[in-house]
Structure 1
Amino acid sequence: MLERSLNRLKEDNPLSIENQVQLLEKTYQLHQSLLEISKRKEQLIKDNDIDGMRQVLMDERKHVKAIQQLEEKRVVATSNWFETYAPEAEEQTIQQVINHLQNNEEKDQLQAIYENFIYVLADLKNQEKLNRELMEQSLQFVELSLDLLKPNHEKNMNYDKKQVQQNKASQSVFDSKA
């Protein structure tokens, strides 16, 4: 019972490393979910599914908003941790928190989630780059299709400008046979 109470105090303490780990894990999970959304978006782009894209973009916005809120909490928690445990630190990053930790178990736990987080961010960046390239190709295809469909007035006229000007020059205002 006492151990459970101590663990709860540790979890509720905004200065605890457990709080940092929980915030980073939640952010990591949201980024993983965002990566899955990005992969769905890739398929929707390939399938040219506009309605599906609308839904995915709404889901994506919700995830981004939730990530921003968690990130704000994490920044505040990290800042508070540094004020208490390492006020001399110039940079207030997760890596610096890891470097200042004395407890190896906490250090390993935070390091593991931090590394996983970095990998999912890299995967997300690559997936979004692929999606952007697919969208650009799709737009190029649409532009090409539109160019093929719209008439080109200069080339499709029965007479070009040179012929019209030559015809005008050969006709006089007065008919000489009269």
Structure 2
Amino acid sequence: MIDKLEQLVEIHQQLIQFSLEKTTIVKNGEVDKLQSHLVKERKLVQQLEKAEAAREKEVEKWFIDNGLSLDDTTITTMLQHLQDEGEQQALEASAVRLAEALINLKQQEQLNVALIQQSMQFVQLSIDLLSPSLANINYSNKTDMDKSSANRSLFDSKA
């Protein structure tokens, strides 16, 4: 069980590193590099899903082997039923490392989401500034222009 948790911690550490790299890529505006980076990240997420499924199977097997109900398959329950104190401490330490890795990954991904949203807002603002709105195509209302031109003659007699 501890091996499975450590494997999850390792994969999460790799995801944190990928997330840090993604932050740099987004800051630099390297869209092509971001796309290839996301492909690699997806492969790592698939690896994480497989490791999590293996961990779930091992936890289920441990609960069945120890005659415990599958209703509450938590680390806390496992810690309460483990006899070996060294194993308890190792399991608890692995669980804490995994929780810390999850928190770090979540924070880093929230930063990436915020950066991407800001980038999208900047792009939208740039598009809005470059493309004229329908109201600005004509400088004035056609009927207003006709009225003002009717009051003026071609020759200004006051001069």
Short-chain TM bin:
0.7 to 0.9
Structure 1 residue 158, shift from structure 2 partner: 3.4
What amino acid is the match of 2:90? Answer: Q
Who is 1:133 aligned against?
114
CA contact (8 A) 1:31 1:120 kept: yes
Who is 2:37 aligned against?
56
Who is 1:35 aligned against?
16
CA contact (8 A) 2:60 2:70 kept: no
Please, what TM-score do these two structures have when normalized by structure 1?
A: 0.78
Runs (4+) off by over 2 Å: 161-164
Q: Of the candidates 27, 31, 46, which is equivalent to residue 46 of structure 1?
A: 27
Structure 1 residue 84, shift from structure 2 partner: 1.4
Counterpart Cα distance in 2 of 1:64 and 1:110: 23
Who is 1:94 aligned against?
75
> Where does structure 1 lack aligned partners over 5 or more consecutive residues?
1-19, 171-178
Structure 1 residue 101, shift from structure 2 partner: 0.7
> Where does structure 2 lack aligned partners over 5 or more consecutive residues?
151-159
What amino acid is the match of 1:84? Answer: D
- Identical residues among aligned pairs (%): 31
Give the length in aligned residue pairs.
Answer: 148
* Structure-to-structure mapping, 1:71-150, within 5 angstroms: 71-88=52-69, 90-150=71-131
Counterpart Cα distance in 1 of 2:80 and 2:65: 15
CA contact (8 A) 1:78 1:94 kept: no
Counterpart Cα distance in 2 of 1:161 and 1:70: 69
Counterpart Cα distance in 2 of 1:86 and 1:46: 53
Higher relative contact order (CA 8 A, sep 6+): 2
Could you say what the CA RMSD is over the residues aligned between the two structures, in angstroms? 1.7
Who is 2:157 aligned against?
none
Counterpart Cα distance in 2 of 1:29 and 1:109: 16
Q: Secondary structure at the match of 1:90?
A: helix
Counterpart Cα distance in 1 of 2:98 and 2:143: 67
1:152/1:89 CA distance change after superposition, 3 Å: closer
Q: Secondary structure at the match of 1:99?
A: helix
